[in-house]
Amino acid sequence: MNHPKQLYLGERFDDLEKLYMKLPPDIKDREIDIICRSARKLMEQCDENYIKRDEELAYVGYMKLINLVQVIRKNKDYARKKEAITRLLGTQSDFNRIFEKLSKLKNSLEARYEERARQRGGSATLSRAVELERASNGKQPVVVGKEAPMVVPIASGQKQSVTATELHAMINDSRVSMLIMDCRPAKDYETSHLRYAYLVNVPEHLLVAGMTAGKINHALPPESRTLWSNRMVKEQVVLMDWNTSGVPVKDTPLYILNYTLCHYDQDIEDTKIIRLDGGYESFVLHYPASCTNPSYRPPTVLDAMGDNIDDIEYPNISDIPMKEESFTKPGFKPTIDRNSKVAAVTLYEARKKPLEDILVEHEQILDKSKQNALEIINTETELKNLEQQQPLEPGLDETQESLLYEVMQLKDRQRDYEAEKARILEEEQSYKQLEQEQKERGEQISSEQAEQLEREAYERRLRDKEREQRELEEKCQRLARERETKLALAREQKRHLKENNVPEPVKRAYPEDDQRSGPYAGNATPARMPLFDRSAKPLADHNHNVRTRDLDVVQRDFAPVYGSVGRGLTGLKNLGNTCYMNSILQCLSNTHFLNEFFHDPSFKMHLNRNNKTQGKIGEEVAAVIKALWTGQYKCIASKNLRYVVGQYERQFGGIEQQDSHEFLTILMDWLHSDLQTKQMQISTSLDQLPPSEKAWIEHFKGKDSYISELFYGQIKSTVKCTRCHKESATYESFSNLSLELPQDSNICYLENCLDMYFNGEEVRGWHCPKCKSNQDAIKKLDISRLPSILVVHFKRFYADPDTMATVYRKKQTLVKFPLSELNMTRYLARTEVNRNKRLTTFRYHLYGVSNHYGSMESGHYTAFCLNNIHQKWFKFDDYNVSSIDASDVQASAAYILFYSCLPDRPQSDVR
């Protein structure tokens, strides 16, 4: 037998990694056939090098081959050409033999590198990695007279778990092809883990509902990804956490990891998934020598709301906060204790600098407000000039509409500046009042006259700017009145023409003339001809084509405007008042996990063809999202999607403005139904399950979908009798929370709105099952299941009670909401805290906002979205896409907020 070729590629085994990790940078963009031919050629070279005993080159080649296979599996054409690829590259059994060769090569190379280092005078101690690898492959000292036990791989159909004794035997049998996944926290894993070469840590913070195998791979550190990829070629994967015995509880890390591998990992279709019964705790007790740091025990977490808590949510009725307390918390106004002179002086001295900051902030707001007012005047003037052009030139309607929408947005921003200015003035007055009271008591607070003079000069400058601002606002109001007068005249002329049956002129007025362009078109005045219907005729032709052919085979017409833009920065054309739809689609497009799911061709395997919409909504939404992320188009048209949506909900297929919240709610139900193909795993009978779990299963009829895992949560409604304190609870699922806004407030916090939703309210005449009669009670809502994606809707539109007919108004309240670190723990039901621990590990971060500008009579929708690639905020205004500053995201136009607690940001940003 020939001897191994002399070592020449590296000085140590780790040097080889640098060689096989280098793939061509454009490999992912190449045709799959070309990649496969390269892989086949590489495989033949590796086999030749293996026979020639060139161990270094063979090992590097085989590892590079495994990396190429991963690229092939992720290619968009892989599913379609899987059979041909298998014939070319071989089956899983063939790759198992390659992994056996890799294992032998690794053992041999590490030993040879160590030997060479020893000969050169290096350390005689074998590296820990070599020892572990040899131990894992059964290279233990031979005991004379004893026979090594033989372990038979466990078939998942026969057994779903192994004991610590069985796993120990499997680890020490080189014939067992196995990968172990440890889903304990990274800190616990680093402190103590199994001594086994094919062991990978999948940290529990990654294991939340909606996670996919691809996303886990992306989130793992580079050194773990190679081990994670071994799941594709190993015959079995063993899962373990700290101490789970029996069937894992739903929503725990072990359950989610098992669920993800079974349902969202197409690469391990034939791999057996088994669990270690009793977890790492059981193994370390039986075999401490096979573990690093066997004395380690994770810190005990004392949870007063643990598993032993009973079903009573509120033992004391006085513990329930009431709705009327929601907006009574201290807001922007500083809390000042005027009963103590010493406290007052100390407080003032401590806040002297913040007072100066308030003055600076006041000046900044005035500068922004002035600039915004100038933009309004310029835009209004441009609109006026357009209107005077006779006749209208081609494209002027579209320009006019764009300018009108810009005026709406500028006016909403001006209203926000006014609210901020009012808040700052309130703070200033509070501090000045404190100063005056202290002066009246004879206290000399402002010791230096120079400081006082400087502040007075600063305030004079502010007064001058406020005067300029008032003058600009008066001019804006004058221009707005002129436009309203012209609109009124245009409406009167239109009415006169209709009464006399005279055809209307081609020239049209502003979009405000369309009284049904508000968010609730069904509640507005009778329908009129829309002003800017740029797509009615193309849509009619398109619909005719769709009707004559099956949607599955029709070529989608996105009518793209070509242009190289960043991925995810493509706009959507307005197909005639479809800005409400465009706003929601952009927010869903920037839902990173949903985007990733729809980009995977295997998502079609989850389509449900037996429901009302036959999977067509899911297909069309996926097609739009994929088109938005090609980076090849400046804008596209979602014609197919609008047509399909209109087939199942007629109001969304027309050219009238609709409510984006109503569209989103219905769309979520459609998408869930289109993807509802996975049977829920139920370990026991329904009657033995907790009430919340039973209600969840019954609501979804025993079938999950990727949409329900991402977007749906559950509310617990508790009603407590004020007489006998009997408690009754019911459960209801939700895809978004609709929050009330204060009636008479220009500014508030998201926390106030959440309090208003979840705080208690009195219920009259509730039939108490214990008292057997109608009693007064208190109803309280809590969250029993947090969603991975939390969608929050503000109820901005309401029926005006002071009008005889039903007239809807809009609340322009500026809601202060966090862009990150939204903590929902305080709204969790006391009895449901443990179930939601995975989702409270990380706080929610904002990634999308659907905005509504204008009023009920005339409105426009846009979206603000955080692009995951560029990590910047962008404004999506139909076909226009532009970057915005994060400070501009908070606005009174915010209508729907999209929050995520999933780790879809770069790891450096996740805390």
Higher per-residue pLDDT: 842 or 405: 405
Query: What pLDDT score does 867 carry?
Result: 94
Query: What pLDDT score does 100 carry?
Result: 80
Residues serving a catalytic function are 579, 860
Sequence-ordered strand ranges (E) for 758-811: 761-768, 773-785, 789-794, 797-799, 808-810
Given a cut of 90, is residue 361 above it in pLDDT? no
Q: 378-434: per-residue pLDDT in tens?
A: 777 777 777 666 555 545 566 777 778 787 888 887 888 788 878 777 777 777 776
Half-sphere exposure of 901 (CA within 13 A, CB side): 26
Given a cut of 80, is residue 310 above it in pLDDT? no
Q: Are 733 and 713 in contact (CB under 8 A)?
A: yes
Given a cut of 90, is residue 153 above it in pLDDT? no
Given a cut of 50, is residue 846 above it in pLDDT? yes
Higher per-residue pLDDT: 462 or 703: 703
Angle among Cα 748, 750, 755 to the nearest 5 degrees reads: 100
Chain-centroid distance of CA 821 in Å reads 13
Q: Poorest-confidence range of 589-593, 688-692, 730-734?
A: 688-692
Query: What pLDDT score does 827 carry?
Result: 92
Instruction: Choose the CATH number for 161-290 among 3.40.250.10, 3.40.50.300, 3.90.1580.10, 3.10.20.30.
Output: 3.40.250.10
Query: What pLDDT score does 862 carry?
Result: 96
Domain 562-677 of CATH type 3.30.70.2860: no
Name residue, tokens 């005639």: 576
Query: What pLDDT score does 215 carry?
Result: 84
Helices (H), 172-278: 186-191, 213-219, 222-229, 253-263
Query: For the chain, what are the domain ranges?
Result: 13-116, 161-290, 562-677
| Mean pLDDT for all residues in the chain | 78
Instruction: Report helix angle 536-548 to 639-648, nearest 10.
Output: 70
Given a cut of 50, is residue 911 above it in pLDDT? no
Higher per-residue pLDDT: 851 or 477: 851
Closest CA to 649 of 623, 626, 669: 669
Given a cut of 90, is residue 544 above it in pLDDT? no
How many helical (H) and strand (E) elements, i.e. helices and strands, does the chain have?
A: 26, 25
Q: Mean pLDDT highest for which of 225-234, 364-373, 795-804? A: 225-234
Q: Are 155 and 272 in contact (CB under 8 A)?
A: yes
Name residue, tokens 């220009």: 746
User: Which CATH architecture does the domain made up of 13-116 adopt?
Assistant: Up-down Bundle (1.20)
Q: 747-761: per-residue pLDDT in tens?
A: 999 999 999 999 999
13-116 and 161-290: same fold? no
Query: What pLDDT score does 635 carry?
Result: 95
Q: 67-118: per-residue pLDDT in tens?
A: 888 788 778 788 778 888 888 888 877 877 887 888 788 888 888 988 888 8
CA distance 219 to 593: 12
Given a cut of 60, is residue 702 above it in pLDDT? yes
Phi, psi of 587 (to 5 degrees): -65, -40
Q: Poorest-confidence range of 598-602, 810-814, 878-882?
A: 598-602
Please name the residues in contact with 893: beta carbons below 8 A apart, sequence gap of 6 or more: 409, 412, 851, 852, 853, 862
Please name the residues in contact with 578: beta carbons below 8 A apart, sequence gap of 6 or more: 572, 638, 642, 655
Higher per-residue pLDDT: 864 or 443: 864
